[in-house]
Amino acid sequence: MTDFPLLTVFMISYNQQDYIIEALESVLNQKTDFDFQIILSDDCSTDRTQMVVDNFLENHPKKNLVTFIKQEKNLGWMPNFIFTLQKCQDSGAKYIAMCEGDDFWTSDNKLQKQVNLLEENPHVNLACHLYEELYNDGSTEKFPYFRQDFFKENENFTFSQEDFEKFMRIQTMTIVFRASALDLNLRRKYKYYCDTHIKHHLLDHGLGLYTKDYDAVYRIHGNNVFMSLDVRKKTKFSYDVYKDLVINNHSVGYKDLLNLAMRDRINHELKSKKTNIFRKYYRHLIWEQFQNTRSLAQLFKYISKGIFNTQ
């Protein structure tokens, strides 16, 4: 392997002893005509994740491809995320791919295909693809976040930052992007900086390219950082992220998603409580939604629902 591999794979883990090896194997099994390396940062797991990884790598023929970092104290999901991304950028690689420790890739040619696309399309900063979700009962579901007709019978389509603001949702384990397009210093102007912000800014000066390949699996389980949150916290997090981009980056294209996230928050309260109108939290939500939309009709609707608890 050269001092500067063409691509570095970002991986993070926390308490993923049951999943991390499947993720690692899916990366190490990649067939490429270029050098790549893996930077895996474990965020001070309290289970056997670190030992499982050490045992797996001990006699693995490709162990030299993996830099395994064991954090001495728990940084938290996003600080460890940023730490690892910075390490990937510092590696000197031209491209960065991403796969968190509980997800995995399903094609040994995933990296080669995406790097080929980026090499052939210099105006594209980010390549991504379709994926499947895997549930605790072992069932899977193909899960695109957009209409199939976007492809228009093609194998891929390009999209802009404006498109991303309106309708695109990209799962992290599907993307490969140009390291030169990553600017982690932008996080300082945000309050809720996360992977959505990163994907948004990767499109500041280039396009994204979405392919039809189902080459990765997103695992839904109780230990997943986001999925482990209760519904109120999940819907609030989504709302805060979109508001962060609207307020601090003037990305007004997220307003529809912002309002949709608030509707989800309000509807959750309506399902969980009666006579919500007497609850300060509910009144705060519907007033904030009014400030966002300036719709008196919508405000009166939610007041009525808060009194009579009708859906």
Long-range CB pairs of 256-260, under 8 A, 24+ apart, other chains included: 256/166, 257/165, 258/292, 259/289, 259/292, 259/293
| Residue where the block lists tokens 């500041």 | 204
CA atoms within 13 A on the CB side of 42: 23
Lowest mean pLDDT among 13-27, 138-152, 268-282: 138-152
Residue 226 token pair: 């986001």
Last residue in a domain, options 219, 245, 265 = 219
pLDDT at 182 over 90: yes
258, 142: one domain: no
Range 268-278 average pLDDT: 83
- Which residue, 281, 271, 280, is CA-closest to 305? 271
pTM of the model: 0.90
51, 184: one domain: yes
Domain that holds residue 255: 231-308
SS3 160: coil
The CATH code of the domain that includes 151 is: 3.90.550.10
Burial of 262 (0-12, 13-18, 19+ CB in 10 A): buried
245, 212: one domain: no
86, 171: one domain: yes
35, 170: one domain: yes
Please tell me the distance from the alpha carbon of residue 264 to that of residue 194, in angstroms, as a whole number: 20
For the stretch 18-39, pLDDT in tens is 999 999 999 999 999 999 999 9
pLDDT, residue 146, reads 60
Burial of 5 (0-12, 13-18, 19+ CB in 10 A): buried
* Percent of the chain residues past pLDDT 70, beyond the cut: 94
SS3 219: strand
Question: What single letter denotes the amino acid at residue 156?
Answer: N
SS3 42: strand
196, 125: one domain: yes
H or E, element range at 103: none
pLDDT at 149 over 80: no
pLDDT, residue 166, reads 85
* Percent of the chain residues past pLDDT 90, beyond the cut: 77
Lowest mean pLDDT among 204-208, 223-227, 271-275: 223-227
Range 175-197 average pLDDT: 96
235, 108: one domain: no
25, 104: one domain: yes
**143 inside domain:** yes
Give every CB contact of residue 171 below 8 A, 6+ residues apart in sequence.
103, 128, 131, 216, 218
**225 inside domain:** no
Confidence of residue 240 (pLDDT cuts 50, 70, 90): very high
| Residue where the block lists tokens 């969980």 | 272
Strand partners, 42: 13, 70
pLDDT, residue 142, reads 87
Q: Which residue has the higher pLDDT, 154 or 96?
A: 96
250, 110: one domain: no
Q: Are 282 and 276 in contact (CB under 8 A)?
A: yes
H or E, element range at 285: helix 280-293
**122 inside domain:** yes
Range 191-201 average pLDDT: 95
Lowest mean pLDDT among 112-116, 162-166, 176-180, 203-207: 162-166
Last residue in a domain, options 170, 194, 219 = 219
pLDDT, residue 1, reads 45
pLDDT, residue 231, reads 81
Strand partners, 67: 39
Range 196-206 average pLDDT: 96
**2 inside domain:** no
Q: 3-state SS of 231-273?
A: HHHHHHHHHHHHHHHHHHHCCHHHHHHHHHHHHHHHHHHHHHC
pLDDT, residue 147, reads 61
| C-alpha dihedral sign at 229, 230, 235, 239 | negative
176, 122: one domain: yes
Confidence of residue 64 (pLDDT cuts 50, 70, 90): very high
pLDDT at 310 over 60: no
Range 293-309 average pLDDT: 90
**224 inside domain:** no
- Which residue, 294, 238, 295, 244, is CA-closest to 268? 238
198, 246: one domain: no
Last residue in a domain, options 219, 241, 271 = 219
Domain count, the chain: 2
127, 30: one domain: yes
**68 inside domain:** yes
